Chain A
C-alpha cells in the first residue's frame, strides 16, 4: 500500500522548501501536482489547493463544492429527507511577481453564520479571502486584505474535499466561527530544517461585535458576528482583533499548533461618549494532526477554550466560558487502483465531538450549568481521486439544555445519516 495522507489534498503548490515561505509561483501555471512530501503546515492550506492555469491567462483558478443528502431526527422528530447544496467556492490566484502573490476565494454557503435559523433564509455569496502576500524573507512575509484568522487549524484548513465528514466540527463552526475572515494585516513566516518545520502567524484585523452576546441563539455565540453586513468596513469596538499562531511540525511525529485570538468585542463608545466598559473575548486553541507511520492512520484534533467578559446583570445563559473540540481518526483500508481509478482510497473514519456552551455553575444555586453536547460519528468514505470524496456518515449525538433537560425538539438524542459528495475542480 502506498503511503497515504489522510486529508488528501495531494495537489500541492508548496514544494520549494528551501527557497522561501511562499509557494513556488510556477506552480500556479499549470495543473497542480501531487505532493510527495509532508513538508507543510496547516497555515499552508490556503494555497494548498488544486489550481488550474489556462492558456496565457495570468490567473490560476480552482474551487470546490459540497452537496449532500441527510436524514436527521431529534427526539423522534425529523423533517425527513433533505437534499442540501452547502457550499460552492471559487478561488483565483496569481503571481504578481516572483515573491508577490494574490489569492481570493468567493464562496456560496448555505449557512454562513453557523446558525440553523439563518440557514432557512437561504445562503449567501461572500468574499471569504482576498489577500496579497509579499515576501521580504522566508521568515517575514506580509499579508494584507481579507485574511483568514489563524485560530486553530480547521479555520485555515476547512475545504470540504479534505474531510471525510459532511458536517463540519460543531465546536469549530458554532463555538468558534468557521471560515472566520476579516479585513486585516499581518505577517507570517516558516522554516524547514530536516524533519522539522516551524511557523508563525500574527495578524491585526477587524473583529467581533455585540451580537456574540445578543443573538437569537440565546447563548454566547461568536459566529453571530458573521451576520453583520458592515463588519468588513467597520469595527464595532474600534480596536484590533489580535490573532497569533505558532506551529511546530515534524514529518514523522505530526504538527502541533497553538493559537490565540482576542480583543475588545463590544461597542463601548458612541460618538466619543463612553457607553459601556471595554469587554474582551479571548480564544485559546490547540490543534494537532499526525499520521501513524505503521497503519497510516490519520488523527486530527483541535480543542478551543473561550473566555468572554459578560456584562454584569446579564443572563447566565450567555456563558462567560466555553470549551469544545473534536477528534477525527481516519483509517485507509484500501488504497490503489479501484474501478479504473488509479489512486482511489476507501477509508473508515470516526469523529468524536464535545462542546460545553456554558462552563461553570449557576450563581443562584452553585450547581453546574449544562448546555452541552457530545457526538460520535462513524463514517465510510471513498475517494476515487484525492480531490473528490464520497462520504457516508451516521451521527449519534446527545444534547442537554442549560438546566440539564434532554426533553425537547432541539435537545436530547439526535441521530442522523448523511451521504455527501465534495470535490475540488
Chain B
C-alpha cells in the first residue's frame, strides 16, 4: 500500500470522525433557530415540560393535513389549520373565507342552507356549494394566530371599561363588545359572566362573535375543514343533504382537539422590531396623536389564566377587542353576533410588519384583503375611524412614512 493512499484514506476517515463529532456537539453546521422577532410560531416563555409536550403535539395537529379518510369535507376551505395560517401568521387570499346569511342580531337564517360559511372547495364528485339566493355575504382573510391566548386572558371587565371610555369620544368612537349566544357545551372562561339575556362578551373573529379559543378551534375544524368534534358534532354538509350519513364519532378526537387549543393559546406574541429607531418612535407618537390608538390600544393587561405564562401580563396587541362602525365602504351587509353589518372588531396590529412574509411579498389588509398597502388600509377606515383617517391624510409625507415605518415594526 503506498504512503499516498494511506494518507488519503486516513484523511477520509479523520474527516468523517471529525464531522460526526462536530455535528453532534456543534450547531454551526445547522441552521439557526427562527428569530422570534420575525417568526411567530414559538411558544410563550416559561411553559412547563408537560405543557411543552402538549404544545408540540398541538403544533403537529395544527399543521396536520386532513384528507377524506381523516374527515376532510365534503365541503371545506383548507385541509389544515396551517393551510390558512401559514407560519401561524395571517392568511393569504387564496384561502379566503366566505361567510353568509346573517344581517342583524336576530341570527343567521341560512344555517339550514349551509351557513354561516361557504365550503369554497369540495371533494371530487360533490356539487360545489353555492351561496343561497338572497343571502348577504362577506369575505374574510384568516387573522394572525399568534398571541391569541393573551387576548383570551384579557378580562371582560377590561373590555367593558374600554367601551365605557369611548362614551364621550369627540371623534365619535363608540366601540362596544359583541355579545353573542354561546353554545352550552363551550366551557366558560374564567371571570366571564353572561348578560341578562344570556349572551357573553365575545372577542375572536372579524366580527368578534366567537367566545373562546375552544369555540374558535371547533368552528375552524367544522366550517373550514368539514371536520366534526365533540363541540360541533354535525358536519355542515348534513344540513344540506339530509340523506348523508352523519359522522358516527367526532372526526377529531378530544386529545388532538385539546392539543390544538393549547397550541394556539400558548403561541408567542409577535415582537416589535426596531422599537428604539427614532422614526419608529416618531411614528408611534403620531399614531397616538391622530387617534388611531383610541381603538388600536397599544397596551392591554391580561387577568388570571390557568396557564401561568399568560396570567397578569402586559401585552401590546393594538386592539380593544370591541366592534366599531367602520363606515359604509366596509359594510358588506353581513354580520355575526350582536354587531351591525358595518361594525368590525378592531384588528390587532401586532405582527402587521410580518404580513408580507406569508403573503408572497405582497400585502392584503382589511377583512377581505382589499387593501394592498398600509396607506390604503388607513384610507379605507370610515365611520368611527374617519376622523383619524382624515388626520393621517393631512400629515406630511415624512410623517405618514414614519407612521408606516412604525406599523411595519409591529
Contact A407 B31 (CB under 8 A): no
Q: Which residues of A contact B65 (CB under 8 A)?
A: 215-218
User: 0/1 per residue, A264-289, Cβ < 8 Å to B?
Assistant: 00100000000110010000000000
CB neighbours (8 Å) of B32 from chain A are 76, 413
Is B125 at the interface (CB under 8 A from chain A)?
Answer: yes
- B39 partner residues in chain A, CB cutoff 8 A: 407-408
Q: Do A419 and B360 have beta carbons less than 8 Å apart?
A: no
A337–B2 Cα distance when bound, in Å, is: 9
* Min CB gap B305→A, angstroms: 25
Question: Contact at A339–B15, with CB atoms within 8 Å?
Answer: no
Query: How far does the alpha carbon of A133 sit from the alpha carbon of B15 in the complex, in Å?
Result: 46
Contact in complex: B357, A413 (CB < 8 Å): no
Q: Is the CB of B362 within 8 A of A365?
A: yes
Q: Is B324 an interface residue (CB 8 A)?
A: no
A14 vs chain B, min Cβ distance (A): 32
User: Which of B85-93, B250-258, B289-297 binds A?
Assistant: B85-93
CB distance from B214 to the nearest CB of A (A): 24
- Checking B12, B86, B121, B359 against A380 with a beta-carbon cut-off of 8 angstroms, the contacting residue is B12
**Using Cβ atoms and an 8 Å threshold, which residues of chain B touch A211?**
67
Say whether, besides A77-B33, A338-B5, A415-B29, A365 and B15 are in contact (CB < 8 Å).
no
Our pick among B12, B86, B122, B357 for the contact of A346 (Cβ within 8 Å) is: B12
Given contacts A210-B124, A317-B79, A403-B360, contact A334 B30 (CB under 8 A): no
- List of B residues within 8 angstroms of A369 by Cβ: 94
Residue of A nearest to B128 (CB): A313
A122 within 8 A of B: no
Any B CB within 8 A of the CB of A364:
yes
Interface residues of A in 306-330 (CB under 8 A from B): 311-317
Contact partner, A312, options B5, B82, B128, Cβ 8 Å = B128
Contacts of A293 in B (CB 8 A): none
Residue of B nearest to A80 (CB): B24
Residues of B within 8 A of A415 (CB): 29-31
Q: Which residues of A contact B69 (CB under 8 A)?
A: 214
Q: Which of A34-42, A66-74, A172-180, A242-250 contacts B (4 or more CB under 8 A)?
A: A66-74
B318 within 8 Å of A (CB atoms): no
A75 close to B (CB within 8 Å): yes
A369 → B minimal CB distance (Å): 8
The reply on A81 being an interface residue by CB < 8 A is: yes
In the complex, the answer to whether A403 meets B92 with C-beta atoms within 8 Å is yes
CB distance from A68 to the nearest CB of B (A): 12
Task: Give A413 to B29 CA distance when docked, in angstroms.
Answer: 11
Q: With a CB–CB cut-off of 8 A, which chain B residues contact A336?
A: 5
Query: Which residues of the other chain, B, contact A339 by a CB distance below 8 angstroms?
Result: 1, 5-6, 9
**Within 8 Å of chain A (Cβ to Cβ): is B361?**
yes
Distance between Cα atoms of A382 and B362 in the complex (Å): 48
Q: Give Cα A77 to B59, complex, Å.
A: 14
Q: Given A214-B68, A215-B65, A403-B360, A419 and B29 touching (CB < 8 A)?
A: no
Cα–Cα, bound, A211→B67 (Å): 9
CA distance A370 to B86 in the complex (A): 13
* Pairwise interchain contact B357-A337, C-beta atoms closer than 8 A: no
Q: Is A91 part of the contact surface with B, judged by Cβ < 8 Å?
A: no
- Is A394 at the interface (CB under 8 A from chain B)? yes
Contact A315-B29, Cβ < 8 Å, known A218-B83, A408-B87, A417-B19: no
CB distance from A375 to the nearest CB of B (A): 13
Cα distance, A294 to B253, chains bound together (Å):
63
Q: Does A16 contact B (CB under 8 A)?
A: no
B329 within 8 A of A: no
Task: Enumerate A377-421 residues with CB–CB distance to B below 8 Å.
Answer: 380, 382, 392, 394, 401-415, 417, 419
Q: Is B78's beta carbon under 8 Å from chain A? A: yes
Q: Which residue of B lies closest to A397 (CB)?
A: B31
Q: How far is the CA of A407 from the CA of B38 in the complex (A)?
A: 8
Residues of A within 8 A of B361 (CB): 367, 404
- Tell me which of A71, A276, A316 contacts B23 (CB under 8 A): A71
Q: CB < 8 Å: which of A312, A316, A370 contacts B360? A: A370
Binary interface encoding of chain B residues 52-89 relative to chain A, with 1 for a CB under 8 A from any of its CBs, else 0:
00000001000111111110100010111011001101
CA of A338 to CA of B1 in the docked complex: distance in angstroms?
6
Q: Does B364 contact A (CB under 8 A)?
A: yes
Which residues of the other chain, B, contact A317 by a CB distance below 8 angstroms?
Answer: 78-79, 83
Among A266, A314, A369, A407, which residue has the most Cβ atoms of chain B within 10 A? A407
**A332-352 interface mask toward B, CB cutoff 8 Å, 1 = contact, 0 = none?**
001011111000001000000
For B76, the chain A residues whose CB sits under 8 A away are 315
A216 touches B67 (CB 8 A): yes
A217 — which chain B residues lie within 8 A by C-beta?
Answer: 65
A411 to B88, CA, bound (A): 13
Q: Does B34 count as interface, using CB distance less than 8 angstroms?
A: yes
Could you say which residues of chain A place their CB within 8 Å of the CB of B34? 75-76, 407-408, 412
Contact A364 B1 (CB under 8 A): no
* Beta-carbon contact of A313 and B122 below 8 Å: yes
Q: Is B358 in contact with A403, judged by CB distance below 8 angstroms?
A: yes
Nearest CB in chain B: distance from A174 CB, A: 14
Are A405's CB and B358's CB within 8 A? yes
* Alpha-carbon separation in the docked complex, A69 to B21 (Å): 12
A327–B95 CA distance with the chains assembled, in angstroms? 35
Closest A-chain residue to B10, C-beta based? A339
Q: Which residues of B contact A215 (CB under 8 A)?
A: 65, 67
Minimum distance in angstroms from A117 CB to a CB of chain B: 9
Closest approach, in angstroms, between the C-beta of B367 and any C-beta of chain A? 15
Given A215-B67, A409-B59, the answer on whether A73 and B31 have CB atoms closer than 8 Å is yes
Q: For the complex, what is the distance from the CA of A319 to the CA of B349, rounded to whole Å?
A: 32
Q: Mark A201-223, 1 if CB is under 8 A from B, else 0.
A: 00000000011011111100000
User: Is A74 in contact with B123, judged by CB distance below 8 angstroms?
Assistant: no
Q: Which of B86, B95, B121, B357 contacts A314 (CB 8 A)?
A: B121
Encoded as 1 (CB less than 8 Å from any A CB) or 0, chain B from 80 to 116 comes to: 1011001101001111100000000000000000000
Bound CA span A364–B32, Å: 34
Which residues of A are found within 8 Å of B24, using beta-carbon distances? 71, 81
Interface string of A244-268 (1 = CB under 8 A from B): 0000000000000000000000100
Q: Is the CB of A410 within 8 A of B360?
A: no
Report the minimal beta-carbon distance from B203 to chain A, rounded to whole angstroms.
Answer: 26
Contact residue among B15, B16, B93 (Cβ-Cβ distance under 8 Å from A362): B93
Residues of A within 8 A of B19 (CB): 392, 417, 419
Would you give 16 A-B contacts (Cβ < 8 Å), ordered by A?
A: A71-B20, A73-B27, A214-B72, A312-B128, A313-B121, A315-B76, A315-B79, A334-B5, A338-B1, A338-B8, A365-B364, A369-B94, A403-B358, A407-B38, A407-B357, A412-B31
Give 5 A-B pairs besides A382-B12, A407-B357 with Cβ atoms closer than 8 angstroms. A69-B20, A364-B92, A394-B29, A408-B82, A408-B86
Residues of A within 8 A of B (CB): 69, 71, 73-78, 81, 210-211, 213-218, 266, 275-276, 279, 311-317, 334, 336-340, 346, 362-365, 367-370, 380, 382, 392, 394, 401-415, 417, 419
